Amino acid sequence: MKSGGKPKNLKENNIRIALDIIRKSDIVSVAGISDGIRLSKTTVKKMIDLFVQTGLVVSAGKGDSTGEGGKKPELYRFNPAYGYVVSIHVTPDSIIAVTTDLNADITAREVASVGTERSLPFIMDRIIGLVRNLMNGKRESGGVLVGVVVALPGLVDSVHGVSIYSPHYPIWGRDVPFASMLTSGLERGLEGGFNAPLFVDCVNRYQALAEREKGVAGGVGNFIIIDALNEGIGSGIILNGEIKHGAQSLSGEVGHITLDAENGPECICGNKGCFEALVSAKRITALARAALGKNPASTLFSGRDPAAITLSDVCEGASRGDELCRTLVADAAKWFVVGLGNIIMVNDPELIVIQGEYVKAGDYFLGLLREGIKRIGLPDVEKRVRIEYSVMGADRGVVGGAAFVIGDFFDKRLLV
């Protein structure tokens, strides 16, 4: 939040700071806020009265009196039901759509699976249908729609709302004006039209915001999430509190950092030895099948069709102590250490959050990463970067998208 020199900006700034304090506290009093931002109680009371009038803040009764015979202070709390967000995540095989309140807590959910029909008009229609259902559901409970957000896989230019390229939906083609197409679709497809802001970005960037809002990165200014799924690796980079996009929205495409151009496996991008190709489900499960019959003590293949072994099976086996699974996960960890080492030396984060399949490998994998990071890239310099697992599940995309919209609403749009 920048502090402007003009009195109007100063006033707006004070309003935002006051509201920020209220949003982050369970319950507040006028005196509490006034102490926090060094404004007179009269000014703060005026602000709160305005917030209460608009419905952003509600009364929370009276507190204990502070002095002998003193008046009991009026208490207030933020009203997260003042507004809502429709947040959508287009995954490689489904569309998750939720509404959240203004605390980014999910209040309703609709999921549509995506099968062989993957064309852009079809996906647009499904999204419009999901938004319509969710908004109809909100008719009774009320609240202001503060924005719609769509988290997409692949390269996204969030400024222009363009899906540059989606490896999971190649049929869409390149440079799809996703935001403007969806806006027109919603204007046509919703009763009463559509006039809320609409945002799109790469899901990994929103997943980073989810960690800051609800996960293990609360209060951390410099951190990176690495999401390793069966299909590939994505990342979201937050430096000095801001999400990074770069000149061409390539920032965070760490899956295609080349780690072994000579001998590495082919990647879906066409190159050899990309980070994501080396730790991919495809490579690790192929290594597992190549070891079939050579590790009689391993239970990886017990009761399973070798062709159906998944990365998840291997990771869970490693967590349980299965030696074959540990060897396979150690191979992936070796490449993770090189990849993360490069990412750390370029970005210098305080924290790296691992999301996705490898979380299932538990302390074993995390231990290998933490040890490995110490030995690479200036081994004599103590690297204080922490590596942690995400505790967020499959909702991290929609929660992060909602957190982005809520941040935009309170930081840029709301003027009481």
For residues 157 and 253, which CB has a smaller minimum distance to Zn ion in the complex? 253
Q: Pick from 88, 130, 208, 274: which binds Zn ion (CB under 5 A)? A: 274
Residue 377's alpha-carbon distances to 59, 238, 341, 342, 374, in angstroms, are 54, 21, 6, 8, 8
User: How many whole angstroms separate alpha carbon 245 and alpha carbon 205?
Assistant: 9
For residues 210 and 274, which CB has a smaller minimum distance to Zn ion in the complex? 274
For residues 203, 207, 208, 211, the Cα torsion angle rounded to the nearest 10 degrees is 170
Residue 279 as a binder of Zn ion (CB under 5 A): the answer is: no
Shortest distance (Å) from residue 280 CB to Zn ion? 10
Shortest distance (Å) from residue 200 CB to Zn ion? 23
Using only C-alpha atoms, what is the Rg of the chain? 24
Shortest distance (Å) from residue 254 CB to Zn ion? 10
User: How many whole angstroms separate alpha carbon 228 and alpha carbon 225?
Assistant: 10
Shortest distance (Å) from residue 219 CB to Zn ion? 34
For residues 121 and 246, which CB has a smaller minimum distance to Zn ion in the complex? 246
With contact defined as beta carbons under 8 Å apart, do 234 and 343 qualify?
Answer: no
Residue 369 as a binder of Zn ion (CB under 5 A): the answer is: no
For residues 236 and 339, which CB has a smaller minimum distance to Zn ion in the complex? 339
Shortest distance (Å) from residue 286 CB to Zn ion? 17
| Stretch of residues binding Zn ion (CB under 5 A), selected from 46-54, 269-277, 289-297, 327-335 | 269-277
Total count of residues recorded for the chain: 416
Under rule CB under 5 A, which residues in 249-268 are in contact with Zn ion? 256, 267
How far out from the chain centre does Cα 46 lie? 36
Question: Beta 106-113 vs 94-100: how paired, if at all?
Answer: antiparallel
Q: Pick from 269, 287, 330, 366: which binds Zn ion (CB under 5 A)? A: 269
Residue 233 as a binder of Zn ion (CB under 5 A): the answer is: no
User: Would you call 266 helix, strand, or coil by DSSP?
Assistant: strand
User: How many whole angstroms separate alpha carbon 404 and alpha carbon 235?
Assistant: 16
Shortest distance (Å) from residue 256 CB to Zn ion? 4
User: How many whole angstroms separate alpha carbon 359 and alpha carbon 356?
Assistant: 6
For residues 108 and 269, which CB has a smaller minimum distance to Zn ion in the complex? 269
For residues 339 and 372, which CB has a smaller minimum distance to Zn ion in the complex? 339
| Stretch of residues binding Zn ion (CB under 5 A), selected from 271-279, 291-299, 309-317, 386-394 | 271-279
For residues 248 and 271, which CB has a smaller minimum distance to Zn ion in the complex? 271
User: Using CA of residue 16, residue 17, residue 22, residue 24, what is the dihedral sign?
Assistant: positive
Instruction: Write out the residues near Zn ion by the rule CB under 5 A.
Output: 256, 267, 269, 271, 274
